[in-house]
Each structure stands twice: as C-alpha cells, then as structure tokens.
Amino acid sequence: MKRAILLFVISLLVFGCSRQADTMRVEHGWIAEIPPMLSVTAGWLELHNEGDAPKYLVGAFSPNAESIEIHRSVMDGDMARMVFQPELEIPARGSLVFSQDTGYHLMLYKSRGMTAGAKIPVTLTFKDGSALTVAFAVVDRRTLE
C-alpha cells in the first residue's frame, strides 16, 4: 500500500507539474545564427491557439541558452528600444506572430550552438502551467532575403 501511494505521489510530481499545451501550435520557429564570439541572439515564430479560450505566454527556456525573455521592439521617437513583455495573450482561435513587423521576439542570452542548420529545443510556458517544446531552426539571416 505504501508503495502504491509513493508511486502515485511521484506520478503527480512528474506529470502534474506541467501539462502539454495541446491547443497550441508553433509554425516557422527560427533563431538568428550568431558568430561564436557573441552569445545573444533572437528568435521568431508564429504561435497559434486552436482552443476556445485565450492562452497567455509567460516564458521560455532552452538548454542552449542561460535565459530567454519575451520582448517587443518599439519606436521611441527616432530610437528603437526593446520592452520586456511579462505575458502575451494569444486569443482563442487566434494567432500571435513574432516578426520584424510586430516587433515581438524572443531574446536568447548566453546562447550556445547557434550555427546555421542546427535545431534548438525551446520550451514555451503558459500562465495555466502548460508548456510546449518546439525545435527552432537556426538560420543565417542573409539567406532569408
């Protein structure tokens, strides 16, 4: 009996701490390649919510970066600046695009292995405790034009 209770508690800890964000889908996730002497880069994606309720993106992490922050680039007069975003709403049956046009992007700090052709796992975390891990392609920006 004690063993059954222990196994039940362990399963709650392993499977109950985070749930798969099964209504969320990522398309076109990519990270800009950087030279080996640099350690900060950015990532972009399209985030789709196929559920009937809004979802809130609150964070991201990867084994290839010490930290990842969600930012938005905004113009302040003639100067562009980045603004940290503590959470972003993805509307029910809607999308949020991270792009040059919207200004939304992921900032990856102290990143490693960002060479063109690599696939980097990034886990997106949501306010409801769910998470979604996606492989982002590392791309040489010069090949995008």
Residue labelled with tokens 């049956």: 93
65-86 pLDDT per residue, tens:
999 999 999 999 999 999 999 9
Beta pairing class for 130-139 and 19-20:
parallel
Q: Report the CATH number of the 19-143 domain.
A: 2.60.40.1890
111-133 pLDDT per residue, tens:
999 999 999 999 999 999 999 99
Domain boundaries, the chain: 19-143
Q: The whole model's pTM is what?
A: 0.83
Cβ neighbours around 119 below 10 Å, total: 13
State which H helix or E strand residue 111 sits in. Answer: none
State the alpha helices, DSSP H only, in the chain.
Answer: 2-16
55-65 pLDDT per residue, tens:
999 999 999 99
- Report the share of the chain in percent with pLDDT over 90: 79
Cβ contact 60:70 at 8 Å: yes
